[in-house]
């Protein structure tokens, strides 16, 4: 069943507010003064982004905060809590793993893209691929990755650099290397909306503006690969390797870049290029290769690149993409490879008292939220700083951040120090402690609280960890067991199930990595029994075999073939970033985001499906259900239970209320002697609101009596 | 809120078959009281003990019978008295009759509340090992029916927790008792759970009552013209650590009504003019997009944001195997057919059963509320009810969206170098290890989430109670039963020693010499500075390197310290790995208690010593070491009866006397001797 476009969410705009020009679609800003402010140019201290529409400039600007390291909203001092009220927090509160990960090291990447004519020849021989080139594949991949990055990791910096180009553009003025950039962005900088937009259509103008040629040719002493590495290394000079992870990613389909030349020149060039790469690696830059194979000619690592990125025999196979049969698969593989694995934590995993291994944890699934917000002054659009102060409720004195906490207990104040509280939470001396094993069917569907965490062994600190892990992993898989362990997390120590995951691969590369998933188990107090709330003494109705058969037929009919968890984009998030992107680029048209999560109405309307549904419906609901429902609804509307009840109450109230002479009571000031119930009877009888304290009720009665 | 105010009567079996777990019964009931003191201050609790030697209840006084049922605490609003009553749970000597106890409890509730409305609950904890007395007329079944009718009439629910010690064989008596309890369940007035370990006993009682609230009521839309009426509840929801308030000590000590609260104030100031406060209505939200900030007011945002319609729509069905367990994202919900709606019940039942038979699941798209800013995509899995009067339903788990998944690539295990691959021998050791360390032998799964208490919260609430009495108390160590959750069971470890050693021998683990040792230790284990120094000294002799340091003793076990003698003592007992610990613990406690009394000035240590005596006595009963206690008590009495006569009066008043045969078979003291111990000694001395 296909999930085609159902409807455009954006229609609400064009339908309800007329022209879909975004500027008009906006409601007036809450502070009318901000409109006038738009015409005024921003204060001189604000760096301005050049935009053809000056009236937009003050609305959208480069972030002027001097905080290149790490996300602004979580400044280390903690003084800038941008969302103190927690409005933007997800329903489930932030889990610590997520936060930790976000604060992990920042990344700087240089994409080195081979632009030799070989990259521009059709990548496959198949006619149906429309002669797409490897260059096209790479541009697609980088664009996708930039889009993900601007949403999730916008503090990472990126540079795009072509080599084997006709034109040259780089600080060192080296031939055949072109550093691509837009606007006033630094060559290595955070990605901007404009960069993504312009880069995604670079192919249209590439040949005319940058040009492609073979850089390393017999006769010329030029070494464009060497130049490219040099430029990349120079770009990555900023920032310390201690806090920033720096990578150079080389995209090429040429496995033998020095194939065109021979003799001493060749050996010399190879030597200097490899030396260049070694120097870069010694400086802490990692060089990775994303090779592209052609169907007729597999990329051969051992020609040159294995030496360049210093791989051992074992690792070469790891590097190779599975045959590039389908370009789509290749795009997938490249996209996955471009993503840097970020580990959340390193844990010790105590298997027995003597065997304790080391594992790394990774967050493979975490809800993506619409990102952080920052408060601005609506008059000037300048960011605001949040200052938090603590005030004593009793004396009004200003306090330093208080270190004591208290809990009301039996109407007493019980004080705790922060240290004592953290000690209470420390119930285990280990990170992860194995308790034993259980068959997989002991893990129920409702044993879940939070997204799982992935664990993969590491030999970094303790040699031999991987071997123990692999052995346990395969035993658990074979015996169908999961491990029960205690995770001594400092905020919420918890029982976890470690479920072994077998590696799953497809033509698009690894689908499920091998390792274990850590599933957070509930405690007894976390499990509720809502199914037992409405029990009756009689047996609950159960479906008959006939009904189950009809249901089975329905299940077969409405079948999602090839369902995969990650096939749906989050419509709310897509829309959010669609709007932001349009605004950031100064576009007036609002993007059309389709909601992929709506049911396939077309599919459901197919006769076979309709028939199966109808059959099932009449088998459980009876033949005349719709009619009965309609009648019941009509009957309810005419004399619904609720309205009947309401009427009875009003009647009773008027009866009760009639027992008093309200005007006289009011005149004699006796109303305050009456009970609230009696007062309410008057209010009910006259259809007045019943809310408020006694005084409010009395004054309402007086008003009604006209006194 | 008055709406959820509850009256609860605890019916606790203290008869001989429960002696081993009285401590846990006490703990779990205390936690319940502690939580009520925090969250439900106006709830009422009564405590009825059965299996006691004595008889004390209204029914016995008025009608006779109902023997060995003692009302230890009348139904009253929770206060210190409630937890005090639980502290002094006597070990009873008579087989208890739980039906009698239920009737007494029921009678208390009805006497107190009559026909007024409200939430009333009985909670029975028993071992069901002893036969019930035959009713004067009719059968026991008839009796149960009568009681159930009464409970229904007064809208009283009951929770039964049946504790069976592992190794106890089910006999006909227990079968009959269980059947009677299940009869209550079938009459829909009771819920019965069976537990077989002290730890799961701690998890069996819901210590906090949460009123279930639906998060959605409406249609599950299979197609536009076929809808099923459902109610959606939370099935799991994390019980959080309470949010403690910040404390201000600025109020003068004389101010009795000081709130001690701290108000947190936020001010927004422009980065350019740090002195100017920007008023809230002049603020506008800026959304980050890369390095750019896009200002959008909430009204503007409201106009353009994603606004899905409320409703739950089916997308289709798929094979269960296409949904991975690890993709479940959040806490779990339950989709129930609308109560009282037979057609909806049948529809849910047939789809659930068809799904179960065909191994399929349903994918649904949910918008719970109108105005919700996003949709949830999730999977329905069947929950086929095994109990006749409970409907079939679906579990609902949220699935991730494409954006939520990170496709990190990991090296496949098969391509790892041979140095990281296990040899056949190692693989066999691992296989055996996984097979033998089995926590779920048929019918006896341990550490079921349903019966596993949260050790952190248990510890917090008992610490809270302790702190309320002793503001400077230290954090107590984790109790023995709770430690079964955080550490492997030492008994199992002992049993499987050869196997575990085998695993250790098969694999060689070495610390990476290039990595700094200290850092590794810091990173790989939570160690206090003090612990670290200690453990380094301890382990360097026997083990080398990081592995030894990874296992610091978690507490300073082996000492009874002044701050928390009883807890230290219990911690020592808890360290059951070797039987010498029990002996050592008892010796240490005797020494400590004796010293306490000798150094007492005008009875200032008496309360503490009393607690120590009580703890020691209890431990000696549980550990079947009555002689240890009896001798100690006799000796101490001989030595100090003149100097500390008041103390012994105190002991006498708390019934802390010799341990009798009835409580511990090994004792050669009769009950009579125990009761008259202080009297006789006095008489003899005069």
Maximal C-alpha separation, chain B: 95
Residue B225 lies in a domain: yes
A344-526: CATH topology: Ku70; Chain: A; Domain 2 (2.40.290)
* Mode of pairing for the β-strands spanning B393-398 and B376-383: antiparallel
Sign of CA dihedral B461, B466, B472, B476: negative
Burial string for B336-362 (b: 16+ CB within 10 Å, else e) reads: bbbeebebbbbbbbbbbbbbbebebbb
Considering the domain architecture, whether residues B115 and B180 belong to the same structural domain is answered as: yes
A545-623: CATH topology: Ku70; Chain: A; domain 4 (1.10.1600)
Considering the domain architecture, whether residues B12 and B139 belong to the same structural domain is answered as: yes
Q: For position B618, which CATH number holds?
A: 1.25.40.240
Considering the domain architecture, whether residues B478 and B578 belong to the same structural domain is answered as: no
Task: Measure CA B272 to chain center.
Answer: 54
Considering the domain architecture, whether residues B163 and B231 belong to the same structural domain is answered as: no
Identify the domain boundary among B410, B434, B465: B410
Is the Cβ–Cβ distance between B52 and B70 less than 8 Å?
yes
Nearest Cα to B654, choosing from B610, B686, B624? Answer: B610
The yes-or-no verdict on residue B102 having pLDDT over 60 is yes
Give yes or no for A400 touching B (CB within 8 A): no
- Dump pLDDT digits (tens) for A671-695: 888 888 888 888 888 878 888 888 8
Residue A30: pLDDT band (50, 70, 90) is very low
Considering the domain architecture, whether residues B199 and B219 belong to the same structural domain is answered as: no
Considering the domain architecture, whether residues B374 and B445 belong to the same structural domain is answered as: no
Q: Which residues contact A627 (CB under 8 A, 6 or more apart)?
A: none
- Average pLDDT value over all residues in chain B: 79
Q: For position B89, which CATH number holds?
A: 3.40.50.410
* Residue of chain B with shortest Cα separation from A615: B226
Sign of CA dihedral A372, A377, A380, A384: negative
- Rounded to an integer, what distance in angstroms lies between the CA atom of residue B105 and that of residue B97? 13
CATH of A637-705, one of 1.10.720, 1.10.150, 1.10.3470, 1.25.40: 1.10.720
Helices (H) and strands (E) in chain B, counts: 24, 18
What is the pLDDT, as a whole number, of residue A124? Answer: 64
Q: Which residues contact B451 (CB under 8 A, 6 or more apart)?
A: A524, B193, B195, B199, B200, B201, B203, B204
Let me know how long chain B is.
Answer: 686
Judged by average pLDDT, the poorest of A461-475, B420-434, B604-618 is B604-618
Query: Are B478 and A456 inside 8 Å of each other by CB?
Result: no
The yes-or-no verdict on residue A143 having pLDDT over 80 is yes
Residue B32: pLDDT band (50, 70, 90) is confident
- Rounded to an integer, what distance in angstroms lies between the CA atom of residue A394 and that of residue A573? 44
Q: Whole-prediction pTM value? A: 0.72
What is the pLDDT, as a whole number, of residue B513? Answer: 67
* Mode of pairing for the β-strands spanning B311-319 and B360-367: antiparallel
* Chain B environment of A59 (Cβ under 8 Å): 294-295
The yes-or-no verdict on residue A21 having pLDDT over 60 is no
The full DSSP string for B356-418 is HHHTEEEEEEEE-STT-SS-EEEEEEEE---STTS--EEEEEE---GGGB-------GGGS-G
Residue A643: pLDDT band (50, 70, 90) is low
- Rounded to an integer, what distance in angstroms lies between the CA atom of residue A100 and that of residue A363? 11
* Residue of chain A with shortest Cα separation from B206: A525
For B439, the domain range is 420-451+473-506
**B16 CA: distance to closest CA in chain A (Å):** 27
Considering the domain architecture, whether residues B428 and B372 belong to the same structural domain is answered as: no
Residue B318: pLDDT band (50, 70, 90) is very high
Residue B564 lies in a domain: yes
Rg (CA), chain A: 34
- Rounded to an integer, what distance in angstroms lies between the CA atom of residue B109 and that of residue B9? 8
* Mean pLDDT along residues B365-394: 89
For the beta carbon of residue B137, count every other beta carbon within 10 angstroms: 7
What is the pLDDT, as a whole number, of residue A448? Answer: 92
Identify the domain boundary among B506, B524, B547: B506
Residue B267 lies in a domain: no
User: Best mutation site among A563, A601, A625 for testing chain B: the one with the most B CBs within 10 Å?
Assistant: A563
What is the pLDDT, as a whole number, of residue A270? Answer: 86
* Mean pLDDT along residues B589-612: 77
The yes-or-no verdict on residue B159 having pLDDT over 60 is yes
- Rounded to an integer, what distance in angstroms lies between the CA atom of residue B421 and that of residue A286? 27
Residue B359: pLDDT band (50, 70, 90) is very high
Burial string for A150-177 (b: 16+ CB within 10 Å, else e) reads: bbebbbbbbbbbbbbbeebbbeeebbbb
* Mean pLDDT along residues A468-480: 92
Using CB atoms, pick whichever of B261, B434, B508 lies closest to residue A476.
B434
Residue A622 DSSP SS3: coil
Judged by average pLDDT, the poorest of A359-363, A477-481, A590-594, B228-232 is A590-594
Residue B480 DSSP SS3: helix
Highest mean pLDDT among A280-294, A314-328, B357-371, B514-528: B357-371
The full DSSP string for A16-35 is HSSS-BHHHHSPPPSSTHHH
* Chain A environment of B260 (Cβ under 8 Å): 393-394, 406, 413
Identify the domain boundary among B360, B386, B410: B410
Task: Measure CA B281 to chain center.
Answer: 48
Considering the domain architecture, whether residues B442 and B374 belong to the same structural domain is answered as: no
**B306 CA: distance to closest CA in chain A (Å):** 5
Contacts 24+ apart (CB under 8 A), A35-38: A37/A378, A37/A379, A37/A380, A37/A381
- Dump pLDDT digits (tens) for A166-209: 888 888 888 888 888 887 788 888 888 888 888 888 888 888 88
Is the Cβ–Cβ distance between B217 and A534 less than 8 Å?
no
What is the pLDDT, as a whole number, of residue A486? Answer: 92
- Rounded to an integer, what distance in angstroms lies between the CA atom of residue A456 and that of residue A497? 15
* Chain A environment of B552 (Cβ under 8 Å): 429
Q: Which two tokens stand for residue A609?
A: 């499906």
What is the pLDDT, as a whole number, of residue A514? Answer: 92
Query: Are A509 and B409 inside 8 Å of each other by CB?
Result: yes
Domains in chain B, number = 4
Report in angstroms the alpha-carbon separations of B374 from A149, B296, B308, B309, B408: 22, 19, 7, 10, 26
Considering the domain architecture, whether residues B200 and B216 belong to the same structural domain is answered as: no
Helices (H), B172-247: 172-186, 198-204
* Mean pLDDT along residues A106-110: 85
Using CB atoms, pick whichever of A352, A420, A542 lies closest to residue B500.
A352
- Rounded to an integer, what distance in angstroms lies between the CA atom of residue A24 and that of residue B170? 78
Sign of CA dihedral A553, A554, A559, A565: negative
Share of chain B above pLDDT 70, in %: 89
Same CATH topology for A110-338 and A637-705: the answer is no
CA-CA-CA-CA dihedral for B108, B111, B116, B119, to nearest 10? 0
Q: For position B224, which CATH number holds?
A: 2.40.290.10
Considering the domain architecture, whether residues B41 and B126 belong to the same structural domain is answered as: yes
* Mode of pairing for the β-strands spanning B283-289 and B292-296: antiparallel
The yes-or-no verdict on residue B248 having pLDDT over 90 is no
Residue B539 lies in a domain: no
Domain boundary assignment for chain A = 110-338, 344-526, 545-623, 637-705
Judged by average pLDDT, the poorest of A39-43, A490-494, B168-172 is A39-43
- Average pLDDT value over all residues in chain A: 74
What is the pLDDT, as a whole number, of residue B351? Answer: 92
**A211 CA: distance to closest CA in chain B (Å):** 29
Residue B129: pLDDT band (50, 70, 90) is confident
* Mode of pairing for the β-strands spanning B262-270 and B376-383: unpaired
Residue B517 lies in a domain: no
- Rounded to an integer, what distance in angstroms lies between the CA atom of residue B304 and that of residue A24? 12
- Dump pLDDT digits (tens) for A408-436: 887 788 888 888 888 888 888 778 899 88
The yes-or-no verdict on residue A251 having pLDDT over 60 is yes
* Mean pLDDT along residues B585-600: 79
What is the pLDDT, as a whole number, of residue A575? Answer: 85
Considering the domain architecture, whether residues B499 and B385 belong to the same structural domain is answered as: no
Considering the domain architecture, whether residues B493 and B570 belong to the same structural domain is answered as: no
Residue A703: pLDDT band (50, 70, 90) is confident
* Residue of chain A with shortest Cα separation from B183: A537
Report in angstroms the alpha-carbon separations of B614 from B189, B590, B635, B657: 38, 12, 16, 10
Nearest Cα to A422, choosing from B244, B649, B583? Answer: B244
Burial of B309 (0-12, 13-18, 19+ CB in 10 A): exposed
Q: Which CATH superfamily is domain A110-338 in?
A: von Willebrand factor, type A domain (3.40.50.410)
User: Best mutation site among A150, A414, A431, A489 for testing chain B: the one with the most B CBs within 10 Å?
Assistant: A414
* Mean pLDDT along residues B635-652: 78
Give yes or no for A486 touching B (CB within 8 A): yes
The yes-or-no verdict on residue A38 having pLDDT over 50 is no
Partnered with residue B246 across adjacent β-strands are A405
Q: Which residues contact B201 (CB under 8 A, 6 or more apart)?
A: B21, B24, B25, B28, B125, B161, B163, B195, B451, B481
Using CB atoms, pick whichever of B239, B392, B420 lies closest to residue A470.
B420
* Mean pLDDT along residues A452-467: 87
Residue B537 lies in a domain: no
Residue B387 lies in a domain: yes
- Helix H, strand E, coil C: the string for A142-157 is HHHHHHHHHHHCCCCE
């Amino acid at each position: 069943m296909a999930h085609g476009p159902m409807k455009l969410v954006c229609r609400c705009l064009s339908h309800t507010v007329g022209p879909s020009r975004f500027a008009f679609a906006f409601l007036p800003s809450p502070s009318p003064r901000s409109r006038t402010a738009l015409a005024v140019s921003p204060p001189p201290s604000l760096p301005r982004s050049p935009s053809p529409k000056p009236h937009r400039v003050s609305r959208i600007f480069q972030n002027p905060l001097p905080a290149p390291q790490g996300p602004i909203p979580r400044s280390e001092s903690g003084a800038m809590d941008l969302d103190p009220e927690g409005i933007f927090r997800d329903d489930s509160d932030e889990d610590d793993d997520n936060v930790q990960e976000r604060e992990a090291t920042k990344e700087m990447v240089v994409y080195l893209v081979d632009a030799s004519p070989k990259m521009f020849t059709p990548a496959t021989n198949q006619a149906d691929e429309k002669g797409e080139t490897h260059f096209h594949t790479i541009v697609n991949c980088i664009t996708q990755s930039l889009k993900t990055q601007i949403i999730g990791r916008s503090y990472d910096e990126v540079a795009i650099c072509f080599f084997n180009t006709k034109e040259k553009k780089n600080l060192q003025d080296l031939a055949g290397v072109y550093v691509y950039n837009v606007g006033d962005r630094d060559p290595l900088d955070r990605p901007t909306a404009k960069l993504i937009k312009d880069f995604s259509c670079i192919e249209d103008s590439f040949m005319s503006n940058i040009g492609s040629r073979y850089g390393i040719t017999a006769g010329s002493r030029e070494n464009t690969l060497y130049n490219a590495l040099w430029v990349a290394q120079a770009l990555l000079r900023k920032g310390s390797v201690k806090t920033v992870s720096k990578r150079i990613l080389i995209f090429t389909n040429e496995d033998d870049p020095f194939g065109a030349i021979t003799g001493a020149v060749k050996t010399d060039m190879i030597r200097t290029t490899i030396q260049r790469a070694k120097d870069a690696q010694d400086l802490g830059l990692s060089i990775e290769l994303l090779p592209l194979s052609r169907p007729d000619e597999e990329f051969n690592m051992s020609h040159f690149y294995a030496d360049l990125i210093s791989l051992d025999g074992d690792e070469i196979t790891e590097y190779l993409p599975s045959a590039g049969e389908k370009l789509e698969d290749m795009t997938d593989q490249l996209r996955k490879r471009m993503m840097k694995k970020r580990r959340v934590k390193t844990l010790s995993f105590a298997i027995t008292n003597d065997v304790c291994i080391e594992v790394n944890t990774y967050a493979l699934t975490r809800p993506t939220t619409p990102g952080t917000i920052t408060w601005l002054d609506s008059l000037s659009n300048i960011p605001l700083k949040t200052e938090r102060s603590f005030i004593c409720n009793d004396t009004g004195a200003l306090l330093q951040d208080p270190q004591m906490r208290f809990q009301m207990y039996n109407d007493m104040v019980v004080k705790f120090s922060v240290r004592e509280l953290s000690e209470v939470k420390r119930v285990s001396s280990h990170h992860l402690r194995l308790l034993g094993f259980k068959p997989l069917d002991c893990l129920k569907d409702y044993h879940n609280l939070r997204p799982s965490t992935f664990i993969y062994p590491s030999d970094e600190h303790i040699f031999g960890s991987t071997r123990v892990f692999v052995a346990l992993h395969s035993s658990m898989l074979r015996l169908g067991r999961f491990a029960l362990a205690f995770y001594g997390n400092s905020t919420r120590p918890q029982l976890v199930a470690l479920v072994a995951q077998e590696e799953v691969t497809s033509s698009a590369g690894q689908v499920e990595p091998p390792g274990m998933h850590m599933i957070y188990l509930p405690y007894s107090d976390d499990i509720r029994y809502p199914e037992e709330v409405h029990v009756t003494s009689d047996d609950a109705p159960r479906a008959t075999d006939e009904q189950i058969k009809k249901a089975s037929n329905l299940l077969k009919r409405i079948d999602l073939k090839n369902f995969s968890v990650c096939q749906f984009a989050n419509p709310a998030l897509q829309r959010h970033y669609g709007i932001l992107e349009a605004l950031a680029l100064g576009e007036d048209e609002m993007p059309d985001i389709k909601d992929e999560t709506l049911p396939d109405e077309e599919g459901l309307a197919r006769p076979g499906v309709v028939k199966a549904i109808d059959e099932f419906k009449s088998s459980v609901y009876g033949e005349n259900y719709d009619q009965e429902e309609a009648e019941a609804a009509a009957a309810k509307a005419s004399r619904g239970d609720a309205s009947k009840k309401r009427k009875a109450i009003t009647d009773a109230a008027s009866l009760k209320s009639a027992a008093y002479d309200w005007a006289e009571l009011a005149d004699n000031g006796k109303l305050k002697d009456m009970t609230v119930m009696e007062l309410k009877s008057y209010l009910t009888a006259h259809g007045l609101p019943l809310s408020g304290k006694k005084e409010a009720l009395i004054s309402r009665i007086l008003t009604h009596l006209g006194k | 809120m008055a709406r959820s105010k509850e009256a609860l009567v605890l019916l606790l079996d203290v008869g001989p078959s429960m002696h081993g777990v009285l401590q846990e019964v006490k703990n779990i009931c205390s936690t319940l009281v502690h939580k009520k003191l925090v969250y439900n201050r106006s709830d009422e609790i009564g405590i009825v003990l059965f299996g006691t030697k004595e008889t004390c209840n209204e029914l016995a006084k008025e009608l006779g019978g109902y023997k060995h049922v003692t009302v230890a605490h009348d139904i009253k609003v929770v206060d210190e008295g409630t937890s005090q009553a639980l502290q002094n749970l006597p070990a009873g000597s008579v087989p208890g009759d739980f039906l009698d106890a239920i009737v007494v409890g029921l009678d208390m509730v009805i006497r107190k509340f009559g026909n007024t409305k409200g939430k009333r609950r009985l909670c029975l904890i028993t071992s069901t090992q002893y036969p019930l007395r035959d009713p004067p007329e009719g059968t026991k079944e008839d009796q149960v029916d009568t009681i159930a009718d009464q409970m229904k009439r007064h809208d009283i629910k009951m929770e039964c927790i049946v504790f069976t010690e592992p190794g106890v064989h089910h006999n006909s008596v227990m079968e009959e008792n269980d059947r009677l309890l299940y009869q209550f369940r079938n009459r829909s007035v009771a819920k019965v759970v069976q537990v077989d370990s002290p730890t799961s006993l701690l998890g069996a009682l819901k210590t906090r009552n949460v009123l279930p609230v639906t998060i959605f009521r409406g249609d599950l839309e299979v197609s536009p013209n076929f809808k099923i009426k459902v109610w959606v509840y939370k099935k799991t929801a994390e019980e959080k650590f309470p949010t403690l308030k910040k404390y201000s000590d600025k109020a003068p000590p004389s101010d009795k009504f000081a709130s001690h609260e701290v108000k947190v104030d936020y001010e927004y100031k422009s980065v350019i003019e740090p002195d100017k406060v920007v008023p809230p209505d002049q603020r506008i939200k800026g959304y980050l997009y890369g390095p750019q900030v896009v200002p959008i007011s909430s009204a503007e945002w409201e106009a353009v944001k994603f606004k899905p319609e409320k409703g739950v729509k089916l997308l289709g069905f798929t094979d269960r195997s296409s949904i991975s367990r690890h993709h479940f994202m959040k806490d779990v919900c339950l989709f129930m057919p609308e109560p009282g709606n037979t057609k909806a019940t049948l529809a849910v039942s047939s789809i659930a059963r068809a799904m179960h038979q065909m191994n399929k699941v349903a994918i649904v798209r949910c918008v719970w509320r109108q105005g919700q800013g996003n949709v949830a995509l999730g999977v329905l899995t069947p929950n086929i009810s095994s109990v006749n009067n409970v409907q079939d339903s679906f579990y609902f788990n949220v699935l991730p969206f494409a954006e939520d998944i990170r496709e990190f690539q990991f090296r496949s295990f098969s391509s790892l170098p041979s140095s990281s691959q296990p040899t056949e021998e190692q693989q066999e050791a691992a296989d055996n290890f996984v097979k033998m360390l089995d926590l779920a032998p048929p019918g006896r799964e341990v550490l079921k989430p349903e019966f596993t208490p949260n050790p952190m919260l248990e510890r917090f609430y008992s610490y809270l109670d302790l702190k309320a009495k002793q503001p400077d108390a230290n954090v107590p160590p984790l109790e023995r039963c709770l430690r079964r959750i955080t550490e492997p069971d030492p008994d199992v470890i002992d049993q499987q020693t050869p196997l575990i050693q085998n695993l250790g021998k098969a694999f060689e683990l070495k610390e990476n010499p290039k990595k700094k040792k200290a850092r590794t230790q810091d990173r790989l284990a939570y160690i206090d500075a003090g612990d670290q120094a200690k453990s380094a000294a301890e382990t360097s002799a026997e083990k080398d390197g990081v592995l030894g340091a990874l296992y610091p003793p978690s507490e300073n076990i082996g000492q009874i310290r002044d701050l928390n003698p009883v807890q230290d003592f219990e911690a020592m007992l808890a360290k059951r790995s070797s039987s010498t610990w029990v002996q050592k613990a008892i010796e240490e406690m005797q020494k400590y208690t004796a010293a306490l009394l000798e150094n007492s000035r005008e009875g200032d240590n008496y309360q503490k010593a009393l607690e120590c005596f009580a703890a020691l006595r209890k431990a000696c009963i549980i550990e079947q070491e009555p002689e240890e206690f009896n001798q100690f008590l006799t000796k101490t009495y001989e030595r100090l009866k003149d100097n500390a006569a008041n103390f012994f009066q105190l002991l006498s008043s708390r019934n802390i006397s010799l341990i009798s045969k009835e409580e511990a078979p090994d004792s050669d003291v009769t009950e009579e001797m125990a009761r008259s111990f202080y009297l006789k000694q006095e008489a003899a001395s005069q």
